[in-house]
Chain A
Amino acid sequence: MKILVVDDSKAMRMIVVRTLRQAGFSGHDVVEAENGKEGLDLTQSIKPGLVLSDWNMPEMTGIEFLRALRGSGDSTPFCFVTSEGSDEMRTTAEAAGALGLIAKPFTEDAFRDVLGSVVPS
């Protein structure tokens, strides 16, 4: 499976990729993008099986990215990995069609719980 990891922090993208591995989701083809606009372009060109995206990013935020995807009829599973885990943001994410929201700092258990239904181990 191709997994697209979108975050404006290189350090966080690397941590997300490591945590995927630690959660048991190894052997997948991980592609990275630095903001929602890049993520949207890549989702349309490489057709990932899952998008893991930050929320607060320059150029295009994660929620705008998700709404643009769903607006184009794209139903790729999409999960936020973000520093803000308020109830309001979880509700907004779910209403826009997100699979879930993993709040930073996170553990591999959170990845397993939220992503286990869509990512083969």
Chain B
Amino acid sequence: MTTFDDLVEAQDELDAIVIDVLGSILGEEAAPAHLDLPDGQVATARLAIHDEGDDTFAVVEVRVGIALARVMAGRMMFVADPEDDDVLDAVAELGNICGGNVKSLLCQHARLSLPSAEIGSGLPALSGASVRVRAVVLGHLVELAVTPGAPIEGLDWPPAAVDEELERQT
């Protein structure tokens, strides 16, 4: 039994996190939704939680259609026409806030990776173990997915955590 085994039972709390974070960032009311993200360009933030108690990982992903991602970046950075770098920064921070809140919800003795973000077409499939919640804001869907045991390759960790990882490996 690991920290991330009870994710399905935390679905209401995950719903609350994504709604709260979107409401705060955009200054707009968000509501739970049960639709799939439409096809097209998507901005995705990805980061990992490492539960140091049982040495397990979960990957947190936040997916936002590109139109909403641009609105979000514009509102966060006070620009009318954000560059792609601004969109990536804004979506990474959205992922970071969601990830930090998911970590605080699920485990105490854990560390959080740095967020990475990308813009692309076509969504890579999530694992069957993923727990997903979706919200609608400004008429657009946002998806938060938490996947226990998903690969963490390509994610960076804060420097102190890197030192701890090296200590563990030696």
Measured CB to CB, the residues of A under 8 A from B are 8-12, 14-15, 18, 56-61, 63-64, 82-88, 103-107
Contacts and interface: CB of A to CB of B under 8 A. Distances in A.
Nearest to B73: A11
Given A9-B89, A58-B159, A82-B100, 12 more contacts: A11-B89, A11-B90, A12-B76, A12-B93, A14-B78, A18-B78, A63-B160, A83-B96, A87-B108, A104-B21, A105-B23, A105-B24
A120 B58 CA distance: 43
- B contacts with A: majority SS: helix
Interface residues on B, range: 20 to 34
B155 interface: no
Nearest to B24: A105
A106 B96 CA distance: 14
Prevailing SS type, chain A contact patch: loop
A83 B97 contact: yes
25 contacts: A11-B89, A12-B76, A15-B25, A18-B78, A56-B96, A57-B114, A57-B158, A58-B158, A58-B159, A60-B159, A61-B158, A61-B159, A64-B159, A83-B97, A83-B98, A84-B101, A84-B112, A85-B101, A85-B104, A86-B104, A88-B108, A103-B100, A105-B23, A105-B24, A105-B25
Interface of B: 20-21, 23-25, 73, 76-78, 86, 89-90, 92-93, 96-101, 103-104, 108-109, 112, 114, 156, 158-160
Contacts of A85: 100-101, 104
Contacts of A104: 21, 24, 97, 100
